[in-house]
Structure 1
Amino acid sequence: MNLGLSVAPVVMATPVQSATKIYIPYGPLEFSLSIETLEIYATEGKIEPELAFYANYVEPQQLEKLRQVLVTPIDVSPVAIAQFLYSPQGEAILERLGEVIQTKAGQEGFYAIRAALIKAAAKPEGLTLLNVLREFPTYGIRINSARSFEIIEELSRLSRQTQQAIAGVNQEAMAEVQAQIESLFPQMPPDFSELPDLREPGPIAYSQQTLTLNDPSRGRRFPVDLYLPSSISAGEGLTPLIVISHGLGSDRMTFEYLAEHLASYGFAVALPEHPGSNAEQLQALSRGLASEVTPPSEFIDRPLDITFLLDQLEQSYAGQLDLNNVGVLGQSFGGYTVLALAGAELNFERLQQVCDQSEDSLNVSLLLQCRALELPMADYDFRDPRIQAAIAINPVGSAIFGKSEFAQIQIPLMLISGSNDTVAPALPEQIQPFTWLTTPNKYLVLQNEGTHFSNLGVSTTAVELPPEVMGPDPAIGRVYTQALSVAFFEVYIAGQPEYQRYLNAAYAQFLSQDAMPLSLVESLTLNQLSEQTDEPQNSSPPPQAPFLIPLP
C-alpha cells in the first residue's frame, strides 16, 4: 500500500475547529494559556498579561529560546512527515507524545498530534511548533502534567546517572594515565609529538574503484567502494583489509574520509552500501515509495552483506588480500552490524523483556532494536571467523544482545561513545556494555560533548543534519577516529605491535582537544560505575531497564 496516497485527505481536509488554548492541570487547579498569546509573543516579541504570569517563573534567555522554538521551521514536506508518522517508529513516538499531549477531553493525542504535524508541514512557512499548535484539531490542548512530571523525573535520573558514569570513565582514564606512566614509562613518559603522527595521512598511495555485488539468494544488490593501496600491485604480500559499515539513514560516503586515511597506511578498505537502511531508503520513505524507516530484515541482511562481500573478495583477490584476518568498523546500526559479526548473538528473550517495558524508557535506539522482534524466531549467529578485530562507534545493542551476548565477543574490540549522544545514549549502549565484555583486548573511548553524529564525514546523498546535532566540531571527531583506527588495526589486523604504544589513555590525552575532550580506558567494572552513582547500594534494577547500573 502506498501511504502517500492515504495522506492527501488528511492534509487537504479543513478542520471543523482548531485549538485556541493550552490547559495545564496542577493538582485541583487548572491553568490555561491562549495560543493567540503565544503567537503574539512569537511574531511580535510582545508579552501579553496572560503570558506575563508564566514569564515570571522563567529566565529571560529561556523565554527567548521559547520564541525561537515556536517559529523555527523544519524543512520537511507534508508527505515526508506523514510517511514517517505512519511508520512503526513514527507511531511509537506518537504513542509516547500522546500520553502527555492530549485533547481537552483528556483523550490521548495520538491522532490529533499526527494530523496537526502533517497539516502544519503544508503551511507556506513550513513546519513550526506554532503551526502545530494552531492546527491541533480540537478546541483545546491538555497537558498531562502527572505524566510530564514522571518523564521529567526520569530524564533527571537518567541525566544524573549518565553524568556520574561519564565522570567515572574520565576518572578511570586519568588513573590509567598515571599508572601507565609509572609502570610502562617509569623513567621518561612518551613524547607522542616525536612519534609518527597518526592524525596525518600515511605515505602510501592508493586507488579507488566501485564494485556492484549481487546476491541472488537474498535478492540483494549493492555497491561497494574499494580502496586498494599500491602495495597490492607491487606484490608485497597479503594486504590487510578493513570493512566499514555505515549507520541507519547514512551511506558509504560518510566514512570516505576514514577509508582514504586507512588506505594511506597500507590497508585495503571496503565501504559497502546497505540497501534498506541507507540514505536512499529514507528518501524513498519521504517520497511515499517506502512504508518504514527500515525493515526488520536489515538486522539479518546487514551482517550477511559483509559476509557476502568477503566471499566475493576471496574469489577476486585471493593471494592479494588477507581475508582470514579482517577488521571491521561500524557506526550506529553499523555498530550493531560489527558486534553481530564479532560474535554477539541475538537474544530474543531479553529483547522481549526490554521492549515490553520500553514505554517508560528514554533510550531512542529501542525504537530500532525492538523492530527485531518482528523477525522469525531463530538462533541467529552471524559471527564470521575471518573477522579478527572490530571498532563500534555509537553502537546500538544493549537490548538485542545483552550481557551474556557481549561476553561472547572474544576478538579485540573498541567501543567509541559520545557523552551527548541522545540516539544511542552512552550509559546504556556503550559504557555499561563495555563492562560486560570479557575479551582481554578491549577499549572504551569517550568523546566528551560528542553526539551520535560527531564522527561522520560529508555526504552528498545522506540527510543533511543541523549543526546542533553534530556536536562541537565533527572535524575533531574525525581526527580522533582516524588516529585511533590506524593504531588499533595496525596492532590487531596488520600485526604491528609497535603501534600498541598509541592504544592507551595517555595517547588519548595527547589527542584530546578542549571542544571535545577525549578519554580512553582499558578496564572498567560495574563496581566502579556503582561507586559513581547515588543509588542505594541494595537497590536492584529491573532487567528491562538498560539505563540503570546494576549494583552489587
Structure 2
Amino acid sequence: MISHSLPGRFPRNNPTRRLRAFLLGLFAAGMTALPLKAAEEIEFVYTPLVFSVSVASLETFAKEGKIDANLKRFLARATPEAREQFREALLTKIDIDPVLLSRFFNTVMGADMLSRLGKGITIQGGINGKYALRGAIVSAAFEPGGLTLLNVLKKFPNNIQLQGEEILGLAKALDYAIYVSELFTKDMRLWTAEEAAAVKPAINYASLPDLRQRSSFQVKKEVWNLTDSSRNRSLYVDVYIPQTFREGQTPVIIFSHGLASRPEDYAQAIEHLASYGFLVAAPQHPGSDIKYLQGMLAGYYRNIFDRDEFINRPKDISFVIDELARRNASQFQGKLNLTNVGVAGHSFGGYTAIAIAGASIDFDNLAKDCNRPYSGINIALLLECRALELPRQVYNFRDERVMAVFAANPVNRSIFGEKGLSKISIPVLLASGSYDPAANPIFEQAISFTWLKTLDKYLAMVEGQAHVNFTELDAGMQKTLESVVDITLPNQNLIEDYTGALLVAFFEVYIADNEKFRPFLLSSYAEYLSQGQKFKLDFITAASDEKLSQLIEKLRARRQ
C-alpha cells in the first residue's frame, strides 16, 4: 500500500485489490535455475539491512498456519487478513504444462518477463536472476504438487536474494496502477452521465431500432484461400456476404483478429454487423494466429508471434481490400463501396486498425517506455516492445480507402506514442474493458484517446470486461478465474450486446453514411443500454476530452 500518497484505502472486497494479491503471488512465483542445492533460507536485502527467512518456516505456516520465531518478525506488522492472503498465495496452484511453460520462457516475450522479474530476484551481488528464475519455476511445475509459490521457493538456489527496494517499488507501482484504474472507471461513469444529461431534447431510445438485435439481412459465409505473391504470404479470409444488397452501394468492413486467435473467434460480432447489410471480411494473420501459437508450443517456432506481424498485419488489410476490388465487378455487380471502408480489430487487431488509420511507430517513445522502471505491470508492453526488433525506419501503413476504425482493447499507446497517434485524421472508436489485465484501459486507451486529434473520436468502456471471451476459450476458465481472484465477470451476452450495438452505430454513421444512427453515438445511448445492469457501458466523446486530459495530468503529477 502507498497510503501516504494515495487518498483513502481500497475496499476490502474490491476485485482489483484481490486481483493485485493474486498477481503479486504470480510475480513472486516468478523465481529461479535448476539449483544444484535447494535453498534452506530466503535472503531479503533492503540496504543496509539483510535478513533471512527459513523455507521450512514458510512451509509450516502455509500448511498448518503456525508462525514460529523465525517467521514472527517477518509477519509482525501484517494484519490477520494479510497473513491469510499470504498463506493462500503460497499454496495457490497454477495448472500449467511445464513443457509449454519452459517453451514460453524461451520466447522473447517470456525472456523479457523473466528479465523484469529478475531485477527484484537476484543472484548474490545483485546480478539479474532471470536464468535462476526460469529453472525454479519450471522445476516447481514438474513437482507432484504443481506450480505453487511455496514449491518455487523450495527450488531456490542458496545464493538467491530478494531485493526489497525493487520489490517494494513494484508493489507501489501495482498499488498506483490499481488506484488510477479505479479512479478512471469512476470518472468514466460520471462523464458518461454528464454527457447524457446534456443531450437536449432527451431521446426516447425505446422507440428506435434495437441495435442489440440482429437486422433482417440473411448472411452467407465464404472462405477464400488467397496468396499475396508480393510478400509470398498465404492466408484465408472469412467473408460474410449479405444475400441481398442495400440500396445504393454496399458498405465494407475488414475485421482483424487478436494475437493467438482466428477470424472464427469473432463470428458472433461479425455476423451481427453483416446482418445490417455490411459485407465483412475477416483475414487470418498467419504470423500471429492460433496456428502460429500452436507451432510455438510444439517447438516449431521460438516466439509467440513473428515480429514482422507489426508490418504484415496492416498490409493484410490492404491486400484484402485489393482482392475485394478485383472481385467487385464479377462477383458483386460492382456494388461494393471500396473507397469508404471501415476496419475493426481486437487487441493486436486493434493495433492493426490504428496502424492502417495512419498512426506511425515511434521507436524512441517505445524504447523509453520499455525501459521505464516497473513498466512490466503494463502487460501490453510485452507485445509492443517486440517492435524494437524491427529495422528503425519510417513505416507508413495508411490506406486512404479506410475511412473509420473501431479498435477494441487495442495495444497501441507506447508503440505509437503521441506523435504517431496524432497523425490520424479519420473517425476512431476505442473500446476497452475495466478488468482488462492485458491492455489496461488507463494505460492503453485513455491516454491514447487524448492524443487523437480527430474530433470524431469516442471512448467506450465495458465495466467488468476482461479482454477476451473466457467462455469461448474454455468453458471452465471463467469459473476458475472468479474463484481464484474472487471477482465476478459480466455475462458474455451482455458484452456482445454492448459491442454489437456500438459496431453497428459507428459504421452506419461513418461508413454507410447513415445519419439516422447518429443518436446511437451519444452517451445517452450507453445510459439507456446500461439500465438495470450491474456492469454498465461507459461512453464518452470529444466533449469530455479536456476532463480526461486533466485527470491524466493530475495522476502524473501525483506519481512524481
TM range (shorter): 0.7 to 0.9
Distance of 1:127 and 1:278 partners within structure 2: 28
1:284 to 289, 295, 301: 295
The answer on whether the counterparts of 1:457 and 1:478 sit within 8 Å (CA) in structure 2 is no
Corresponding residue for residue 443 of structure 2: 428
Distance of 1:239 and 1:530 partners within structure 2: 38
> Is the counterpart of residue 386 in structure 1 residue 401 in structure 2?
yes
Corresponding residue for residue 96 of structure 1: 116
Distance of 2:338 and 2:546 partners within structure 1: 39
Corresponding residue for residue 95 of structure 2: 75
Alpha-carbon shift at residue 482 of structure 1 (Å):
0.7
Corresponding residue for residue 3 of structure 1: none
Helix, strand or coil at the partner of 2:377? coil
C-alpha change, 1:377 and 1:486, in structure 2 (3 Å) is same
Distance of 1:107 and 1:410 partners within structure 2: 47
Output one character per residue of 1:115-144: Cα deviation in whole Å (capped at 9) or x when no partner: 1122222223432222222222x1264221
Distance of 2:364 and 2:124 partners within structure 1: 40
> Is the counterpart of residue 315 in structure 1 residue 326 in structure 2?
yes
Corresponding residue for residue 274 of structure 1: 285
Distance of 1:324 and 1:479 partners within structure 2: 29
Output one character per residue of 1:197-227: Cα deviation in whole Å (capped at 9) or x when no partner: 1111222211112111111222211121111
Comparing 326-335 with 155-164, which one deviates more in the overlay?
155-164
Alpha-carbon shift at residue 21 of structure 1 (Å):
2.0
C-alpha change, 1:18 and 1:460, in structure 2 (3 Å) is closer
Please give the residue correspondences for 1:246-395 in structure 2 after superposition, counting only pairs within 5 Å: 246-318=257-329, 319-357=334-372, 360=375, 362-395=377-410
Distance of 1:85 and 1:246 partners within structure 2: 24
Comparing 153-162 with 465-474, which one deviates more in the overlay?
465-474
2:147 to 119, 127, 131: 127
Alpha-carbon shift at residue 291 of structure 1 (Å):
0.3
Counterpart residue type for residue 447 of structure 2: Q
The answer on whether the counterparts of 1:415 and 1:443 sit within 8 Å (CA) in structure 2 is yes
Alpha-carbon shift at residue 377 of structure 1 (Å):
2.6
> Is the counterpart of residue 151 in structure 1 residue 165 in structure 2?
no
Q: TM-score, normalised to structure 2's length?
A: 0.84
> Is the counterpart of residue 204 in structure 1 residue 217 in structure 2?
yes
Alpha-carbon shift at residue 348 of structure 1 (Å):
2.5
Distance of 1:403 and 1:28 partners within structure 2: 41
Output one character per residue of 1:340-387: Cα deviation in whole Å (capped at 9) or x when no partner: 111112222333333343665632222222221221233211111221
1:476 to 494, 518, 525: 494
Corresponding residue for residue 521 of structure 2: 503
1:458 to 472, 476, 482: 472
C-alpha change, 1:366 and 1:315, in structure 2 (3 Å) is same
Counterpart residue type for residue 170 of structure 2: I
> Is the counterpart of residue 399 in structure 1 residue 414 in structure 2?
yes
> Is the counterpart of residue 517 in structure 1 residue 536 in structure 2?
yes
Counterpart residue type for residue 129 of structure 1: L
Alpha-carbon shift at residue 76 of structure 1 (Å):
2.6
Distance of 1:487 and 1:535 partners within structure 2: 33
C-alpha change, 1:64 and 1:158, in structure 2 (3 Å) is closer
Helix, strand or coil at the partner of 1:147? helix
The answer on whether the counterparts of 1:345 and 1:382 sit within 8 Å (CA) in structure 2 is yes
Helix, strand or coil at the partner of 1:294? coil
Alpha-carbon shift at residue 23 of structure 1 (Å):
2.5
Please give the residue correspondences for 1:408-427 in structure 2 after superposition, counting only pairs within 5 Å: 408-427=423-442
The answer on whether the counterparts of 1:201 and 1:261 sit within 8 Å (CA) in structure 2 is yes
Corresponding residue for residue 446 of structure 1: 461
Distance of 1:324 and 1:478 partners within structure 2: 29
C-alpha change, 1:158 and 1:35, in structure 2 (3 Å) is same
Please give the residue correspondences for 1:106-145 in structure 2 after superposition, counting only pairs within 5 Å: 106-136=126-156, 138-139=157-158, 141-145=160-164
> Is the counterpart of residue 219 in structure 1 residue 232 in structure 2?
yes
Corresponding residue for residue 43 of structure 2: 23
> Is the counterpart of residue 168 in structure 1 residue 187 in structure 2?
yes
The answer on whether the counterparts of 2:471 and 2:478 sit within 8 Å (CA) in structure 1 is no
Corresponding residue for residue 191 of structure 1: 204
Distance of 1:15 and 1:479 partners within structure 2: 52
Distance of 2:248 and 2:104 partners within structure 1: 50
Distance of 1:79 and 1:355 partners within structure 2: 28
Task: Note the aligned Cα RMSD (angstroms).
Answer: 2.9
C-alpha change, 1:486 and 1:301, in structure 2 (3 Å) is same
Counterpart residue type for residue 170 of structure 1: R
Distance of 1:526 and 1:497 partners within structure 2: 23
Q: TM-score, normalised to structure 1's length?
A: 0.85
The answer on whether the counterparts of 1:253 and 1:457 sit within 8 Å (CA) in structure 2 is no
Distance of 1:16 and 1:25 partners within structure 2: 22
Output one character per residue of 1:135-191: Cα deviation in whole Å (capped at 9) or x when no partner: 22x1264221111122223333333334334443333222211111xx3x1xxx222
Aligned length: 518
C-alpha change, 1:69 and 1:279, in structure 2 (3 Å) is farther
> Is the counterpart of residue 242 in structure 1 residue 257 in structure 2?
no
Helix, strand or coil at the partner of 1:458? helix
Helix, strand or coil at the partner of 1:313? helix
C-alpha change, 1:361 and 1:286, in structure 2 (3 Å) is closer
Distance of 2:222 and 2:160 partners within structure 1: 56
